[in-house]
């Protein structure tokens, strides 16, 4: 019997990892440290919740179908703020609002590729990207990054075929945490343009980039829309994960193709979430600056505590935004190690095997630590627990 596309696709990794908690007894003296998922666990700030309540009560049309590509006011606000932030020119009709950034990616792929086509994904990759490509019958071509976690444009060029439709980047990266240098992003943009394919840049974590200058200058190119599709999520910035609000920025004609997908799947983005995102963009810049400062401090705490592990053979490959990506020193595979860390040390993290092709041995040596929901003191405890892990070392 032929498998369905979902049957042939691996299970959602975060859901799988949660099942590892079953049967493990955690205590007040040694509670679980959960660094498996990169999503805010706190609700939106009180003023934003008040605005959501006001809209729910006072704006009747917020409970009805809205425009497929999103509220015009929110599209215009994204265009205006992005134009300023990137030093470029973006029009409101080049912005679409989606039901989360994952849907923005799915809509983008549906507008770009069909069955049998190919996309280049740097490894380690964001597993939901790989899952969607599998479910669409699109071939994922791994672009190996090595210890730097940065893709090589020359290597990418060698992998492009007549079936290649796009190169996908995530910066700051999930799962690696690394921030792609502007010249690297530009080089991959130039490559995509020269080969007549799209460059998809997922900037879900752009609000937590350590750099104060624009992370790239692609939008300053007057013809950026012939090649670039940018994706974004409001979930991390304003803690709107449950409201599912994302964005895609692309050519007007491209958005018309994506609209077919969006209209078929959800008809319109969540109206309350869109109003919340718009209010947040207009009123929470100072609050978001504080959130960014806290995340950057937690990133610094990773570096501050890393000597505890490097002395025991661990290696930090990348850190930034919500993530640290590490190489462990043990002979066991990282998927087995991740389960053992839950059982023995009450730490839940994700193994590199969830972000890599099965045939790539690097995944078995790596772990992702999502540190956004653990403060500096908890990070110190986390590293102490990892340092106590005592398993057979690799030769």
pLDDT digits (tens, 9 = 90+) for 162-174: 999 999 999 999 9
In a shared domain, residues 225 and 269: yes
Print burial letters for 175-209: b (CB count within 10 Å at least 16), e (below 16).
Answer: bbbbbbebebbbbbbebbbebebbbbbbbbbbbbb
Measure Cα distances from 229 to 18, 143, 336 in Å: 33, 19, 37
Domain that holds residue 291: 13-43+287-388
Q: What is the average per-residue pLDDT within 247-263?
A: 97
What is the count of structural domains for the chain?
A: 2
- Alpha helix ranges (H) inside 59-118: 72-86, 101-112
Mean pLDDT of the chain: 96
Do 304 and 352 reside in the same domain of the chain?
A: yes
pLDDT in tens, 17-64: 899 999 899 999 999 999 998 888 899 999 999 999 999 999 999 999
Distance CA 364, CA 337 (A): 9
Q: What's the rounded mean pLDDT across residues 209-221?
A: 96
Asked if residue 395 belongs to a domain, the reply is no
For the chain, helix, strand, coil in percent to 5 are: 50, 15, 35
pLDDT (tens digit per residue) in 333-360: 999 999 999 999 999 999 999 999 999 9
**What is the CATH classification number for the domain harbouring 337?**
3.90.1150.10
pLDDT digits (tens, 9 = 90+) for 55-109: 999 999 999 999 999 999 999 999 999 999 999 999 999 999 999 999 999 999 9
| Mean pLDDT score, 11-16 | 87
Domain boundary among 230, 262, 284: 284
d(CA 347, CA 36): 9
- pLDDT of residue 395 exceeding 80: no
Measured at the CA of 198, the angle between CA 194 and CA 203, to 5 degrees, comes to 125
Q: Name which of 102, 100, 46 is nearest 234 in CA terms.
A: 100
5: pLDDT strictly greater than 90: no
């Amino acid at each position: 019997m032929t498998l369905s596309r979902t049957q042939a696709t691996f299970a959602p990794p975060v859901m799988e990892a949660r099942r590892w908690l079953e049967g493990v007894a955690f205590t007040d003296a040694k509670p679980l440290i959960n660094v498996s998922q990169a999503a805010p666990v706190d609700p939106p700030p009180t003023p934003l919740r008040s605005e959501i309540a006001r809209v729910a009560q006072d704006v009747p049309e917020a409970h009805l179908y809205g425009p497929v590509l999103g509220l015009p006011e929110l599209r215009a606000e994204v265009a205006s703020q992005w134009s300023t932030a990137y030093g470029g020119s973006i029009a409101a009709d080049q912005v679409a609002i989606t039901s989360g950034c994952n849907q923005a990616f799915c809509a983008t792929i549906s507008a770009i590729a069909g069955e049998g086509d190919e996309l280049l994904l740097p490894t380690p990759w964001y597993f939901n990207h790989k899952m969607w490509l599998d479910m669409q019958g699109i071939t994922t071509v791994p672009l190996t990054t090595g210890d730097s976690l940065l893709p090589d444009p020359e290597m990418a060029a060698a992998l492009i075929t007549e079936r290649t439709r796009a190169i996908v980047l995530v910066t700051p990266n999930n799962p690696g945490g690394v921030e792609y240098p502007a010249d690297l992003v530009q080089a991959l943009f130039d490559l995509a343009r020269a080969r007549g394919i799209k460059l998809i840049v997922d900037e879900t974590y752009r609000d937590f980039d350590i750099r104060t200058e624009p992370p790239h200058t692609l939008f300053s190119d007057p013809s950026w829309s012939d090649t670039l599709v940018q994706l974004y999520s409001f979930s991390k910035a304003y803690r709107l994960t449950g409201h599912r609000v994302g964005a895609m920025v692309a050519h007007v004609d491209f958005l018309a193709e994506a609209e077919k997908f969006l209209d078929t799947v959800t008809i319109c983005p969540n109206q309350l979430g869109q109003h919340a995102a718009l209010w947040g963009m207009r009123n929470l810049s100072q609050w978001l600056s504080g959130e960014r400062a806290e995340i950057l401090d937690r990133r610094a705490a990773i570096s501050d505590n890393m000597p505890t592990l490097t002395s025991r053979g661990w290696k930090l490959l990348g850190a930034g935004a919500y993530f640290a990506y590490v190489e462990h020193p043990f002979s066991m595979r990282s998927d087995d190690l991740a389960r053992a860390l839950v059982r023995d040390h009450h730490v839940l993290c994700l193994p590199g095997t969830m972000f890599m092709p099965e045939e790539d041995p690097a995944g078995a040596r790596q772990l992702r630590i999502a540190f956004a929901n653990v403060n500096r003191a908890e990070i110190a405890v986390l590293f102490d627990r990892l340092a106590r892990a005592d398993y057979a070392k690799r030769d």
